[in-house]
């Protein structure tokens, strides 16, 4: 019992408010920062147990990503830099919601179920974003780890993807890279400079990029990276955190949802701009054209640019490896058609959520995945990486194949394969545009998005909706899918699907068609069908026009 004595004492300093229950979701725990002190202490405990169980270093990141500044959150990182295993998400919820006098019992329950040897050493890496509450909350995590005798390394202010990277570097004994910020900047900048320094006749205008840092950690880290890449990329940073509020009227989520430029960014016609989100794991690009019309290049456009670049390089290198793009039902139909019909790239559709995308991408030689919101990365199988490296070293290979292989090798090194990373993704996009000699308009014109509309319908119980075929078809309630099918037939190039929200009693409706008016009408008609057949609450949805 002595080993839990310190937990019993220290947990009194981080008491749980009675009756408060929180759920560990895709993004970990997230809520108003003042409700999180006990959660942080307990996630320190859980990370220590996970470390003992896996005999590896585990990460704990204190952040609430694109949420408002007064919120905070926490997520756990598994040994290879991936999200924590699903069963441990359940343990996180159990531990977080155990009332104060049941905490030790909940802890012992996990130890017994997982058969954890408490004499095993434990190591936990901790990072935090720039929110005012983050320093005190990460101290609570440190308290949790130390009360079970774990060792910690506190990285202080880092982006979420940087902490994922550090954990992976540590557990691969440095094979993935050096587990320091300097190591991260060196690895990425060297790969980026190798990719771009041979590109002929690049002007300063082509090297210029406007970046909205969302007044978050990404802005801080870009300032640290900037000296490493200055010769090939001139970043003009706005919303750098010196005066504005985190995610307020800026950041990737704001730009994606509002379909307009963030405050604080003055864009010239055709200038390339991008936005990070609050913890720098998402990125979107955008520009305004000569008619002052705003154009957004989201995750679908990013996945298309990167996957087609990789496919061309594989062809030039003579490597027989399959590139696949993993999408969700929300991917624009135009992107799917362009990839499959024009570029002959395999496309796989999976359920919404990074975890599902990441898992599906692991099934291919090279798996590219991006959610529409700009979160994504590229995964290279061990076999694919081996073939690329061997080709680079092969002295019997002609110059064209060798050049393509070197470009592939540097692209592998530039990508953070552990998780979506706005800094890494930005450098990949910039390198691809430079190598191909493309402007942001050229990239945007690869294909034209079908007009679409997303709506929400409040229902009394979201569980009445069950879906199949990667959430593209509704199985229950009876009659709903038939209704959707007959509504879709009325419009050209149309499709629509509905899925229950993961967090609230609403049903999300998506529709696309050949015109915006058609997409809006279809979305409204499907919303009406949901309201009538799935237990809608309140008045029927009103038409958009």
Question: Does 300 carry a binding-site annotation?
Answer: no
Question: Does 523 carry a binding-site annotation?
Answer: no
* 61, two tokens: 């990141």
- Report helix, strand or coil for 76: strand
What Rg do the C-alpha atoms of the chain give, in angstroms? 24
Question: Does 401 carry a binding-site annotation?
Answer: no
The Cα–Cα gap between 94 and 539 comes to 37
Question: Does 371 carry a binding-site annotation?
Answer: yes
The Cα–Cα gap between 179 and 163 comes to 9
Question: Does 399 carry a binding-site annotation?
Answer: no
Question: Does 372 carry a binding-site annotation?
Answer: yes
Cβ neighbours for 379, distance < 8 A, ≥ 6 positions apart: 358, 361, 362, 364, 366, 367, 369, 417
Q: Are 124 and 44 in contact (CB under 8 A)?
A: yes
Question: Does 65 carry a binding-site annotation?
Answer: yes
Cβ neighbours for 101, distance < 8 A, ≥ 6 positions apart: none
Question: Does 129 carry a binding-site annotation?
Answer: no
Place of tokens 């007044």: 215
* 497, two tokens: 């699907």
Question: Does 73 carry a binding-site annotation?
Answer: no
Q: Are 398 and 370 in contact (CB under 8 A)?
A: no
Question: Does 253 carry a binding-site annotation?
Answer: no
Question: Does 315 carry a binding-site annotation?
Answer: no
Q: Give yes or no: 527 in active site.
A: no
CA angle 523, 299, 512 (to 5 degrees): 20
DSSP codes of every residue in 322-386: -EEEEE-TTS-HHHHHIIIIIS--EEEE--SSHHHHHHHHTTSSEEEEE-TTS-EEEEE-HHHHH
Sheet holding 29-32: strands in order across? 29-32, 71-77, 57-62, 123-128, 151-157
Q: Are 58 and 123 in contact (CB under 8 A)?
A: yes
Question: Does 152 carry a binding-site annotation?
Answer: no
Sheet holding 273-276: strands in order across? 234-238, 208-212, 273-276, 283-288, 294-297
The Cα–Cα gap between 304 and 325 comes to 8
Q: Are 134 and 246 in contact (CB under 8 A)?
A: no
Q: Are 56 and 77 in contact (CB under 8 A)?
A: no
- Marked catalytic residue, from 11, 65, 138, 335: 65
Residues of the binding site = 65, 277, 279, 281, 371-373, 499-503, 508
Residues of the binding site for substrate = 371-373, 499-503, 508
| Residues with catalytic function | 65
Residues of the binding site for Mg(2+) = 65, 277, 279, 281
């Amino acid at each position: 019992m002595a080993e839990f004595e310190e937990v019993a004492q220290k947990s009194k300093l981080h008491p749980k408010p009675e009756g408060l229950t929180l759920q560990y979701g895709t993004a970990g725990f997230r809520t108003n920062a003042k409700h999180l002190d006990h959660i942080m202490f307990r996630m320190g405990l859980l990370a220590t147990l996970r470390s003992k169980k896996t005999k590896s270093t585990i990460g704990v990141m204190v952040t609430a990503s694109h949420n408002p500044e007064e919120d905070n959150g926490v997520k756990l990182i598994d040994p290879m830099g991936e999200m924590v295993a699903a069963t441990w998400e359940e343990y996180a919820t159990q531990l977080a919601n155990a009332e104060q006098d049941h905490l030790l019992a909940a802890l012992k329950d996990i130890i017994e179920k997982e058969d954890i040897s408490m004499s095993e050493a434990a190591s936990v890496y901790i990072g935090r974003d720039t929110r005012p509450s983050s320093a005190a909350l990460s101290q609570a995590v440190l308290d949790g780890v130390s009360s079970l005798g774990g060792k910690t390394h506190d990285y202080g202010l880092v982006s979420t993807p940087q902490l994922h990277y550090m954990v992976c570097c540590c557990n691969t004994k440095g094979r993935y890279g050096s587990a320091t910020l300097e190591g991260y900047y060196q690895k990425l900048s060297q790969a980026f400079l190798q990719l771009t320094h041979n590109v002929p006749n690049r002007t300063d205008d082509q090297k210029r990029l406007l970046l909205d840092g969302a007044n978050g950690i990404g802005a801080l880290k870009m300032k640290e990276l900037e000296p490493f890449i200055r010769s090939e990329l001139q970043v003009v940073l706005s919303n750098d955190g010196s005066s504005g509020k985190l995610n307020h009227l800026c950041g990737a989520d704001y730009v994606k949802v509002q379909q307009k430029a963030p405050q604080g960014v003055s864009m010239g016609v055709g200038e390339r701009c991008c936005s990070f989100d609050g913890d720098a794991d998402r990125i979107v690009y955008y520009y305004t054209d000569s008619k002052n019309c705003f154009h957004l290049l989201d995750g679908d456009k990013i996945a298309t640019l990167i996957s087609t670049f990789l496919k061309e390089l594989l062809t030039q290198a003579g490597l027989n490896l399959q590139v696949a793009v993993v999408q969700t039902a929300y991917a624009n139909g135009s992107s799917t058609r362009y990839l499959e019909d024009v570029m002959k790239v395999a496309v796989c559709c999976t359920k919404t959520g990074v975890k599902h995308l990441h898992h599906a991408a692991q099934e291919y030689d090279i798996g590219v995945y991006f959610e529409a919101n700009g979160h994504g990365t590229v995964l290279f199988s061990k076999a694919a990486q081996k073939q690329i490296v061997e080709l680079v070293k092969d002295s019997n290979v002609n110059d064209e194949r060798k050049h393509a292989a070197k470009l592939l090798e540097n692209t592998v090194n530039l990508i953070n394969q552990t998780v979506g990373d706005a800094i890494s993704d930005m450098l990949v996009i910039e390198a691809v545009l430079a190598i191909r000699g493309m402007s942001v308009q050229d990239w945007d014109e690869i294909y034209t998005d079908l007009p679409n509309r997303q709506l929400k319908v409040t229902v009394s119980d979201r569980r009445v909706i069950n879906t199949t075929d990667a959430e593209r078809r509704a199985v229950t309630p009876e009659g709903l899918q038939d209704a959707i099918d007959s509504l879709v037939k009325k419009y050209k190039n149309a499709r629509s699907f509905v899925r229950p929200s993961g967090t609230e009693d609403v049903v999300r409706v998506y529709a696309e068609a050949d015109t915006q008016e058609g997409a809006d009408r279809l979305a409204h008609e499907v919303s009406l069908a949901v309201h009538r057949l799935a237990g809608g609450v309140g008045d029927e949805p009103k038409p958009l026009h």
